Amino acid sequence: MRSTASIMHLDLDAFFAAVEQRDKPSLRGKPVCVGGVGARGVVATASYEARRFGARSAMPTAEARRRCPSGTAFLYPRGDAYRASSRIVMDLLRAVSPVVEQVSVDEAYVDLAAGSAIDLSPAGVRAAAEGLIAEIRDATGGLTASAGIASSKMLAKIGSELEKPAGLVVVPPGRELQLLAPLSVRVVSGIGPATEARLRSFGVETVADLQRMERADLVSIFGSAHGGSLHELARARDDREVVVEREAKSVSAEETFEHDVVDRDVLDAELVSLARRTAARLGKSAAFARTVTIKVRQHDFATSTRSETLLHPTGDAGVILDVARRLLAGVDVSNGLRLLGVGVSGLSAHAQEQLRFGELDGAHETLSLFAESDETASQEAAAEADVPVTPAGDVRRTPGPAAYADGPPTWWPGQDIAHTEHGAGWVWGSGLGRVTVRFEGPTTEPGRVRTFRADDPALCKADPPQW
């Protein structure tokens, strides 16, 4: 732990959803969920408007649909758009300090002490961060960021979460324990659901409770490495340095069970949760993966992994789960498992197949959701294409014989698109051989929607818009 508050953690607020709202003016101020749009999809990011209804990262999209009102936008991720904004932000961070540790597409640690002209007093680092956050907003067309500045990485990350969105928390040296004490133990690095539940059984719920536990007691419960780490971190003793690292080569999630598990139904339920968490973390990195791996630890601590490589990169929780289930089916669990994990590797920036058939079904469902919230827009879209509209606002028409001649449509909700006459816009919804487009951009007023045949030659994919 440093003697100065010189480590900053910066996190872009609801990043994917914020980019969508910036680029799509009709969605500003409205609930937006970005992630898998099909029945087995997972939410990667929910806007703050959607969070008010209970939507959150790593939640199944089906559950988010049930919680959010009609008209909520469920959009497939646009990795190119997110990476473009991310590069701008990371370049601004590197202008402040040469030592930047990028954790994901929207998150990084910055060593302010490595900067050349930064006053490291609490007032000085606050002023520097305020200027940086304002620069980010101006350079990215209005995206907001939250930051925490402290004497350690753990405290800086905790600080960045405390006053979201657009928050800034500086933890002066000597105030670390005061900040930590009332918070849930979950803020401590390394405490997940299983460790939290075990601590709760001993009456430990806040960091203050954890601080009162002796090292020997924590070691006896969690082992020397984990128990000793909890004892140190609860007292804000974190000596990890900010390091310039390469991009992550894998993403994973795992769970250690309090008791050995032999019930395959219980293991399958855990596998579902792990696949969703892994997909959400993969989505947060705006990446796709080709190889799925499961990790198992037997009752005798013997640990092994099994992997399968896909033909095409995926970011879909359903695909990851299907592979993980096949892999786990070949594992002997008769004596019980102590740990189960799911990971993906072979990361790439693009998926060769954007949507599976199940996702296409969800794409048409998205059209219905938008229409229910904006019947006038739906009527306008139908009038443009001479397509009948049901009372619920669902645009329906049986596709012609050539509608799927070259395979399923390639249009997916949120996708950037251009029309030779109407210009640039985005896919409002698709299905049944049709695609509905809203023609607008980050610098326009909310635009009108029009519906076309999915194979209309006047339509083409487009690059993310400029703001």
Together in a domain, 25 and 159: yes
Together in a domain, 158 and 269: no
Average pLDDT (280-308) is 88
The whole-angstrom separation of Cα 366 and Cα 162 is 33
Together in a domain, 91 and 215: no
Q: Please indicate, yes or no, if residue 270 is contained in any of the structural domains.
A: yes
Residue 301 pLDDT exceeds 90? no
Together in a domain, 229 and 103: no
Distances (CA, A) of 279 to 19, 119, 299, 455: 20, 40, 28, 31
Domain hosting residue 220, numbered range: 190-233
Q: Please indicate, yes or no, if residue 161 is contained in any of the structural domains.
A: yes
Residue holding tokens 């339509």?
459
pLDDT of residue 358: 39
Residue 342 pLDDT exceeds 80? yes
Residues in the chain: 467
The CATH number of the domain holding residue 46 is 3.30.70.270
pLDDT of residue 247: 61
Q: Which residues are within 8 A (CB) of 229 and not within 5 positions of it... i.e. 6 or more apart?
A: 189, 190
pLDDT of residue 366: 39
Check 20, 101, 107, 255 and give the catalytic one.
107
Q: Please indicate, yes or no, if residue 123 is contained in any of the structural domains.
A: yes
Average pLDDT (108-119) is 91
Q: Are 194 and 256 in contact (CB under 8 A)?
A: yes
- Residue 101 tokens, joined: 């540790």
Average pLDDT (201-218) is 94
Q: Using CB atoms within 10 Å of the CB of residue 318, give its burial: 0 to 12 exposed, 13 to 18 middle, 19+ buried.
A: buried
Together in a domain, 85 and 9: yes
Together in a domain, 156 and 15: yes
Edge to edge, the sheet with strand 423-431 lists 449-453, 434-438, 423-431, 416-419, 459-461
- Of 296, 321, 348, which residue constitutes the final position of a domain? 348
249 pLDDT band, cuts 50/70/90, is: confident
Instruction: Please provide the DSSP assignment of 186-204 as one string.
Output: GGSTT--HHHHHHHHTTT-
Q: Please indicate, yes or no, if residue 183 is contained in any of the structural domains.
A: no
pLDDT tens sequence across 411-463:
888 999 999 999 999 999 888 889 999 999 999 999 999 999 999 999 999 99
116 pLDDT band, cuts 50/70/90, is: confident
The secondary element (H helix, E strand) that includes residue 343 is: strand 337-348
69 pLDDT band, cuts 50/70/90, is: very high
Active site residue 107: yes
- Residue 358 tokens, joined: 């199940």
Q: Please indicate, yes or no, if residue 181 is contained in any of the structural domains.
A: no
The CATH number of the domain holding residue 268 is 3.30.1490.100
pLDDT of residue 384: 45
More confident of the two residues 66 and 406:
66
pLDDT of residue 98: 94
Residue 97 pLDDT exceeds 60? yes
DSSP structural state of residue 454: T
Average pLDDT (175-202) is 91
Together in a domain, 334 and 275: yes
**pTM attached to this predicted model:** 0.78
Residue 179 pLDDT exceeds 70? yes
Together in a domain, 341 and 260: yes
Residue 373 pLDDT exceeds 70? no
- Asked if the peptide bond before residue 399 counts as cis, ω within 30 degrees of 0, the response is no
- Of 120, 145, 172, which residue constitutes the final position of a domain? 172
Together in a domain, 341 and 421: no
Strands 100-104 and 107-111: antiparallel
Average pLDDT (195-214) is 93
**Identity of residue 402:** A
Phi and psi, residue 249, nearest 5°: -100, -10
Strands 337-348 and 288-298: antiparallel
Together in a domain, 288 and 315: yes
Residue 467 pLDDT exceeds 70? yes
Residue 374 pLDDT exceeds 60? no
Average pLDDT (120-130) is 95
Show the DSSP H helices in 97-152 as ranges. 122-139
Average pLDDT (254-280) is 90
The whole-angstrom separation of Cα 31 and Cα 14 is 12
Together in a domain, 336 and 396: no
pLDDT of residue 371: 31
**Count of domains forming the chain:** 4
pLDDT of residue 246: 59
Residue 359 pLDDT exceeds 50? no
